[in-house]
Amino acid sequence: MSFASIDFLIFFIVVILGTLIIQKFFSKRVKEVFLLIASYFFYGYWDWRFCFLLLFVTLSSYFTAKYKDKKGIYIIGIVIPLIVLGFFKYFNFFLESVSSIIGHDLGILNIILPVGISFYTFQALSYVIDVKREKIEVEDDFIRLALYLSFFPQLVAGPIVRAADFLPQLKEERKVSSENFKYGIQLMAFGLFKKIVIADHLSVFVDDVFKVPVAFHWATIVLAVIAYSIQIYFDFSGYSDIAIGCAKCLGYDFNSNFNLPYISQNVTEFWRRWHISLSTWLKEYLYIPLGGNRKGKVRQYINLFITMLLGGLWHGASWTFVFWGGLNGLALCIDKMIPKKKEKNLFDKVIGVILTYTFICFTWIFFRADNFTNAWDIIKGIFTLQKGISQPFVWAFVAIILLVIFTIGAIIKSHKNKDKYVDGYYPIVNLNTVFGLTIFFVVIGLIFCLAFTGEQPFVYFQF
Amino acid sequence: MILNVIFSFYFNPPTSDKEYEKSSFLVTPFKYEPMERFTYALEGHGHGRVNNDGYINVEDYDSNKEVNILMVGSSQFEAFQVDIKNSVTYRLNELLKNKFVYNIGVSGNAFPESITNIAPAIIKYKPTDYIILEMSDVKYSDQELSKVLEEEDNKKDSESSSGSKSVKNNNVIRKFYRNSSFLRLLWRKLEELTDNREANLPEAKEEFNEKLTGEVLNKIRTIVENKVKVIIVYHPSVSLESDGNLILLNNENVEKFSKLCTENGIYFLDMSDRFSAEYKKNNILPYGFSNTSVGKGHLNKYGHEMIAEELYKLIKEEK
């Protein structure tokens, strides 16, 4: 069940009403069980068999974390989610890669990739590792741990919520309240707008160009690459906003997953602003255990590169994703090598933003392309100033204008607050006023009427 | 109100004329409320005014003025989502300076349904030179073809793209609905969502029925007086191959259809070569807009222009 569907709207209303009734008449325990059942229903709506896999990962984390002091069991606790992820997501990729190396077709298995597997296996790992590191205590309550791993707002496409952030919330008295709901529902509307109005319309154009790049004019290809950079940002950050808003309506808080990534002045900053929950996870559970920056410069570069390669692989079982990760890893290493100015003037900042955005757009080509030939066709089309179909796609310009307006708004807001670091913000209105309500319902009307009605799943579902 | 103002620039299509639909003399399954202004931007962008006769023409209808060429067809001839001055009718009028080309194309009135009402159309408009029909596929199901041959009035089956069946029946709701761009757009989106859910039904595959198709073409020729020539414009759907070449879809039976047309004294204008040539030379596709998928959907201004030019050539050659 996608967030952008009538089915989810009904589900969400039922969950909110159910939680309201339960918190009024029943204990917190009943609410936890109710939310757990709702989350499994949400997940099973795609394919009920997926629920057993989720339960298996939960059981393994639950029991292995209990024996954190026994090294063998701790390792099992780490290995099981990795095996689950490796088998379902990477086994066929492995077979195909070996086949091409040995020149003999080994065939592939008919494996369905369970939705959200990359997200909940990472959460399971974070729980086991955090318990071992004694950042959190062992969770004796199976229902709570199961709810943490399956909580439907973040289950299928993140954000990757760390156990240390969420389990304590489950122990607190969190409630559906008018204030939470008013805030959460606006985040959901904002996310929905990004997803079904902007990202989905852009996908039409991006798909057309990436399907047959050789048919298009170079300027159209450039526009398509820019459009994709906005599509993936609005698609994924839109999903995150809906997830954060949804959790907020139920009384829970998730951290922000995106923070104006395209105003980054270098790649390091980009990765602090893009998919924050993943980059934080990779830093804490991969980069730092590899040695981080504690073992000298060369080792730091190697660690960074490996982290980004694996980060690329996490996104999808394809060499284009690995290459994309590698490019970002390389850029991070180069960025670390370049000495930084202490005080940057406006010109330096603007140049930094333009160069970083151009580089990131270049890497998105590999991220979006079906294969290297496809990516090469895109690059060749641009650099050879290819002639072809011109398609000045209107939604791409609408998206660019909206992005620029919101970014300028964020810069002005940060400037007013005398913040050095520009932070994103949600355009939240006061729903207790007529003005606020009018704005809210106008936005809802815009969302429904401008929505793309074709089928377009969230980009990050595939990961 | 705010949303109505916003969407009046985005989606304000003409509404169907309910009084006309009650009449027993139907030239097309429905027509629009005369003199209504319209705007739509879901695909491309089109705006204009319905003429006094309920059809989309720049000129009003004057029963004293001779119609030389009558354009009959679907939303493609209506120039749906295209500016009225980019339509094939308008362009043909410009090219054929001394002839009056009149369009009665309306959404949903596709070939072969459009044939059902061709007789009343001839009685009303009395075209002197040509009747021009259009199609994007030459193959139709036996059921569709048989229906034409049975001469059933199929007005109930046709539906305007601008509204909904149920909402239109109640006068008060209808008035409120037709004045609200927001509600009309919302309704349309809900319909699209429903259509998407039903879109997975398997498509019935039938062979090209030469016999029935021939009978339908013969029927057209029988209805239309001999002095009036009939042209069928075939504008095939297109797609791009992975190497960037243009492919024409549904064109397996075009030759057979063309032969049947010749046998029945009907001119068959196949746009395939022109579409291919235009793409090869200028990278221009006849369908699609700057806010939709490339090469899909309705004819764009280039598509209309190409058809107008080819029709002009054909008409000039025949003189």
Neighbours of B292 (CB within 10 A): 24
pLDDT of residue B162: 44
- Please compute the mean of the pLDDT values over residues B6-31 and round it to a whole number: 77
Within the 224-243 window of chain B, which residues sit less than 8 Å (CB to CB) from chain A?
240-243
Q: Model confidence over B235-286: pLDDT tens digits? A: 999 999 988 899 998 778 889 999 999 998 899 999 999 999 999 999 999 9
Q: Model confidence over A366-422: pLDDT tens digits? A: 999 999 999 999 999 999 999 999 999 999 999 999 999 999 988 888 888 877 778
- Please compute the mean of the pLDDT values over residues B114-135 and round it to a whole number: 87
pLDDT of residue A323: 95
Looking at beta carbons, which residues of chain B come within 8 Å of A455?
196
Annotated catalytic residues of A are 315
Looking at beta carbons, which residues of chain B come within 8 Å of A212?
240-244
- Which residue type sits at B213? T
Is residue A301 a contact partner of residue A333, using CB atoms and an 8 Å limit?
yes
Chain A residue closest to B278 (CA)?
A: A389
pLDDT of residue B157: 43
pLDDT of residue B205: 59
Q: Model confidence over A353-371: pLDDT tens digits? A: 999 999 999 999 999 999 9
Q: Which of A23-37, A218-232, B140-154 has the lowest mean pLDDT?
A: B140-154
pLDDT of residue A94: 83
Q: Does B2 touch chain A (CB under 8 A)?
A: yes
Q: Is the pLDDT of residue B86 over 60?
A: yes
Count how many pairs of residues, chain A against chain B, have C-beta atoms within 8 Å: 63
> How far is the CA of B75 from the CAs of A55, A389, A435, B124, in angstroms?
53, 25, 41, 21
Q: Do B290 and A392 touch (CB under 8 A)?
A: yes
Q: Is the pLDDT of residue B153 over 50?
A: no
pLDDT above 70 coverage of chain A, percent: 98
Give the predicted TM-score (pTM) of the model. 0.88
- Smallest Cβ–Cβ distance between B290 and the set A211, A393, A445 belongs to A393
Residues 6+ apart with CB under 8 A from A90: A313, A317
Say how far apart CA A206 and CA A222 lie, in whole Å.
10
Chain B residue closest to A438 (CA)?
A: B2
Mean pLDDT, chain B, rounded, equals 82
Q: Do B2 and A395 touch (CB under 8 A)?
A: no
pLDDT band for A455, please (50, 70, 90 cuts).
low
- Smallest Cβ–Cβ distance between A391 and the set B10, B186, B294 belongs to B294
Does B161 or A370 have the greater pLDDT score? A370
Is residue B219 a contact partner of residue B243, using CB atoms and an 8 Å limit?
no
- Smallest Cβ–Cβ distance between B196 and the set A211, A393, A453 belongs to A453
Chain B residue closest to A389 (CA)?
A: B283
pLDDT of residue B37: 86
What angle, rounded to 10 degrees, do the helices at A117-132 and A48-66 form? 10
Chain A residue closest to B200 (CA)?
A: A455
CATH of the domain at B15: 3.40.50.1110
pLDDT of residue A454: 67
Q: Is the pLDDT of residue A244 over 90?
A: yes
Q: Does B194 touch chain A (CB under 8 A)?
A: no
Does B22 or B4 have the greater pLDDT score? B4
Domain count, chain B: 1
- Please compute the mean of the pLDDT values over residues A124-148 and round it to a whole number: 91
The ipTM is 0.82
Q: Is the pLDDT of residue A143 over 90?
A: yes
Q: Model confidence over B176-221: pLDDT tens digits? A: 777 777 888 878 777 777 665 555 545 555 788 888 888 888 888 8
Distance from CA of B63 to the nearest CA of A (A): 41
Looking at beta carbons, which residues of chain B come within 8 Å of A394?
290-291
Does A344 or A182 have the greater pLDDT score? A182
Q: Do A395 and B192 touch (CB under 8 A)?
A: no
Is residue B47 a contact partner of residue B83, using CB atoms and an 8 Å limit?
yes
